[in-house]
């Protein structure tokens, strides 16, 4: 083995090892939901008694067909005071809002103060260790409360529940319900079972292909903005990433299904929709009927009352010219913003991450998008300190950030995830160096964001008014390119599009004045 620059282990043997990692279920296996037990699906339980649902001691539950059809009322849930905490990404926020919508339909109420709640739900994230630690810490604290107040209920849902469900049930036996990513549409029915005296923790983890929230309208944080999940799961296998194992293979919803949900949202007062998919560019491919993202955008565009459409997350290998053409054609509603994570600027790292593209491809995509529409801005995700990352590799990330001039970025320190292919690679960049690289990349982004924002001063921005700003008496909104902007105006403008002249800028936001 050789030592690369900065004392970081870098060996071609490791590169080879990456290609030979065994035990990763194939996409075909995942697609069929027949993932053979391996360390990669640890926690994605395949109980032997019942393929659908199984408690930790093997007690068996079957889904309630009437409840599944939405035809059963839930007197035990009516009046329950719920406090719901969401960790992680927008996809989790959408799931939380839908589960809240389901519970709302059954008569539950919602409280801001967890101390007032009868039911505390945590929607969890497994992408980085830190997110999991926060949930475990909270569970430790909740143990005392449950002792004092045994009727108080605790539910753990989402990615950690899917990945670590059995472990959570064993380590925190006072939890009432553990519910994985593909069972969320059955949340009220499962809660009902708990209330009816089912043995707890009730663990509901399934490999069923899809989640069907039916006609439920999300109970949203914002009246005017809504998330709308169009694909679940991911067919990519980036070596560091746990998502394919917590959310399963990619499953798309039909265009009709998405359009109907969008119409319900607009009827409910929504003016801007954010479409969600792990790799949104491959939306529809699994339906095998020529469905794709640009057809979906064309189908959503005519909805009266829908003012803005956004979509995340794009993948550099999959982002297509047709999308840029559609964004240009429908630019009155489809906003010029692409969240396309590079993860690294170094080809060597991209290969180790199995991202499926090189730096040059990333730059080509950016160029093609901007050629169609110069207004398009990019947002990036970056991982620093991935296995084997040398100073030279890191410099490539710095230079890619400079070259693209992202509007904003999310920078993460690499965190080894159990069950991912990269778990077998050494986590060999010392924590201090990860921190330093994190700070350097973040500082560079801050500088670029501040420069780009300052260049907007004097210009007129079309702004969707989100509501009163957190501090003070001003309004907050988003420009077409998703920049935050603060300005004075009446709250009655919420959900409207107004014109605002930018008067000042920082790296994070603009200040402005409303104009005609
Ligand atoms: N460690 C650090 N960051 C990660 N991400 C995904 N997996 C990991 C990991 N193991 C980051 C990627 C992704 C974002 C959602 O989280 O940048 O785009
Ligand atoms: Fe994870 Fe890669 Fe899929 Fe994104 S594309 S969710 S990083 S596996």
CA of 151 to the centre of ligand 2 (A): 39
Whether the CB-CB separation of 226 and 101 falls below 8 Å is answered with no
Percent composition of the chain: helix, strand, coil (DSSP 3-state, to 5): 40, 20, 40
Q: Is the CB of 414 under 6 A from ligand 1?
A: yes
Q: Could you tell me the strand order of the sheet in which 109-110 lies?
A: 109-110, 81-86, 119-124, 153-158, 177-179, 202-204
Q: Is the CB of 315 under 6 A from ligand 1?
A: no
The pair of three-digit structure tokens given for residue 455, joined into one six-digit string: 């260049």
3-state secondary structure 410-452: EEEECCCCCCCHHHHCCCCCCHHHHHHHHHHHHHHHHHHHHHH
Residue 452: pLDDT band by 50, 70, 90 thresholds?
very high
What distance in Å separates the CA atoms of residue 87 and residue 96, rounded to the nearest whole number? 10
What distance in Å separates the CA atoms of residue 281 and residue 319, rounded to the nearest whole number? 6
Higher-pLDDT residue of 247, 505: 505
Ramachandran angles phi, psi of 324, nearest 5°: -65, -40
**If you search the block for the tokens 């960790």, which residue do you land on?**
87
Average pLDDT for the chain:
86
Q: Residue 43 above 50 pLDDT?
A: no
If DSSP codes are grouped into helix, strand and coil, which group holds residue 270? coil
Q: Could you report the per-residue pLDDT of 377-390, keeping only the tens digit for each?
A: 999 999 999 999 99
Q: Is the CB of 240 under 6 A from ligand 1?
A: yes
At 346 the pLDDT is 98
Q: Could you report the per-residue pLDDT of 278-318, keeping only the tens digit for each?
A: 999 999 999 989 999 999 999 999 999 999 999 999 999 99
At 516 the pLDDT is 79
Nearest-atom number in ligand 2 for the CA of 241 is 1
What distance in Å separates the CA atoms of residue 264 and residue 69, rounded to the nearest whole number? 19
CA of 240 to the centre of ligand 2 (A): 9
CA of 164 to the centre of ligand 1 (A): 18
Query: What ranges in 149-270 are assigned the alpha helix state H?
Result: 159-171, 187-195, 243-247, 255-267
CA of 241 to the centre of ligand 2 (A): 6
Whether the CB-CB separation of 466 and 418 falls below 8 Å is answered with no
Report which protein residue has its CA nearest ligand 2's atom 2. Answer: 238
At 73 the pLDDT is 52
At 50 the pLDDT is 31
Do β-strands 81-86 and 119-124 pair in parallel, antiparallel, or remain unpaired?
A: parallel
Report which protein residue has its CA nearest ligand 2's atom 5. Answer: 236
The pair of three-digit structure tokens given for residue 389, joined into one six-digit string: 């990352």
3-state secondary structure 121-152: EEEECCCCHHHHHHHHHHHHHHHHHHHHCCCC
Whether the CB-CB separation of 372 and 323 falls below 8 Å is answered with no
Nearest-atom number in ligand 1 for the CA of 89 is 15
CA of 424 to the centre of ligand 2 (A): 18
Least confident segment among 97-111, 270-284, 406-420: 97-111
Ramachandran angles phi, psi of 120, nearest 5°: -110, 125
Report which protein residue has its CA nearest ligand 1's atom 2. Answer: 414
**If you search the block for the tokens 């194992």, which residue do you land on?**
245
Nearest-atom number in ligand 2 for the CA of 279 is 5
Q: Which residues contact 306 (CB under 8 A, 6 or more apart)?
A: 262, 266, 270, 271, 272, 273, 300, 333
For the residues 448-466, what does the mean pLDDT come to? 98
Q: Residue 446 above 90 pLDDT?
A: yes
Do β-strands 109-110 and 81-86 pair in parallel, antiparallel, or remain unpaired?
A: parallel
Whether the CB-CB separation of 269 and 301 falls below 8 Å is answered with no
Least confident segment among 44-48, 73-77, 121-125, 423-427: 44-48
If DSSP codes are grouped into helix, strand and coil, which group holds residue 155? strand
Closest CA to 54 of 247, 207, 213: 207
What distance in Å separates the CA atoms of residue 281 and residue 314, rounded to the nearest whole number? 6
The pair of three-digit structure tokens given for residue 19, joined into one six-digit string: 């290609």
Q: Could you report the per-residue pLDDT of 179-206, keeping only the tens digit for each?
A: 999 899 999 999 989 988 888 999 999 7
What distance in Å separates the CA atoms of residue 190 and residue 55, rounded to the nearest whole number? 11
Question: Whole-prediction pTM value?
Answer: 0.85
Q: Could you report the per-residue pLDDT of 68-101, keeping only the tens digit for each?
A: 555 455 678 888 999 999 999 999 999 999 999 9
């Amino acid at each position: 083995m050789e030592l690369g620059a900065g004392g970081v282990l870098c060996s071609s043997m490791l590169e080879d090892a990456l290609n030979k990692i065994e035990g990763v279920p194939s996409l075909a296996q995942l697609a069929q939901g027949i993932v053979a037990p391996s360390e990669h699906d640890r926690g994605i339980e395949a109980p032997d008694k019942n393929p659908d649902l199984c408690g930790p001691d093997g007690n068996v539950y079957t889904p309630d067909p009437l409840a599944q059809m939405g035809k059963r009322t839930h007197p035990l849930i009516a009046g329950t005071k719920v406090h719901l905490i969401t960790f992680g990404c927008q996809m989790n926020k959408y799931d939380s809002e839908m589960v809240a919508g389901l519970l709302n339909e059954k008569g539950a109420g919602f409280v801001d103060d967890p101390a007032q709640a009868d039911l505390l739900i945590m929607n969890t994230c497994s992408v980085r260790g830190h997110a999991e630690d926060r949930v475990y810490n909270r569970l430790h604290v909740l143990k005392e409360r449950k002792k004092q107040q045994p009727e108080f209920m605790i539910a753990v849902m989402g990615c950690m529940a899917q990945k670590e469900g059995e472990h959570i049930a064993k380590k925190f036996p006072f939890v009432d319900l553990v519910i994985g990513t593909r069972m969320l549409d059955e949340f009220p029915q499962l809660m009902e079972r708990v209330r009816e005296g089912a043995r707890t923790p009730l663990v509901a983890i399934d490999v069923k292909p899809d989640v069907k929230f039916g006609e439920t309208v999300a109970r949203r944080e914002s009246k005017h903005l809504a998330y709308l999940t169009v694909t679940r799961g991911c067919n990519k296998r980036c070596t560091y990433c746990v998502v394919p194992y917590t959310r399963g293979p990619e499953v798309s919803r039909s265009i009709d299904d998405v359009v109907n949900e969008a119409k319900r949202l607009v009827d409910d007062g929504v003016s801007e929709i954010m479409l969600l998919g792990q790799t949104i560019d491959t939306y529809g491919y699994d339906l095998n009927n020529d469905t794709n993202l640009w057809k979906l955008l064309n189908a959503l565009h005519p909805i009266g009352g829908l003012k803005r459409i956004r979509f995340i997350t794009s993948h550099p290998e999959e982002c297509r010219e047709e999308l840029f053409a559609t964004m240009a054609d429908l630019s009155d509603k489809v906003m010029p913003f692409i969240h396309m994570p590079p993860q690294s600027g170094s080809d060597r790292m991209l290969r180790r991450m199995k991202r499926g593209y090189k730096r040059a491809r990333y730059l080509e995509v950016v160029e093609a998008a901007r050629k169609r529409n110069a207004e398009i801005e990019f947002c990036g995700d970056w991982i620093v300190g991935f296995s084997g990352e040398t100073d030279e590799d890191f410099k490539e990330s710095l230079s890619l950030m400079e070259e693209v001039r992202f509007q904003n970025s999310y920078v993460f320190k690499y965190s080894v995830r159990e069950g991912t292919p990269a778990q077998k690679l050494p986590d060999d960049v010392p924590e201090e160096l990860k921190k330093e690289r994190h700070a350097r990349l973040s500082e560079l982004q801050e500088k670029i964001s501040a420069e780009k924002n300052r260049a907007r001063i004097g210009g007129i921005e079309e702004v969707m008014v989100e509501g009163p700003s957190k501090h003070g008496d001003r309004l907050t909104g988003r420009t077409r390119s998703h920049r935050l902007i603060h300005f004075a105006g009446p709250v009655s403008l919420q959900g409207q599009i107004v014109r605002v002249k930018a008067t000042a800028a920082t790296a994070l936001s603009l200040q402005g004045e409303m104009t005609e």
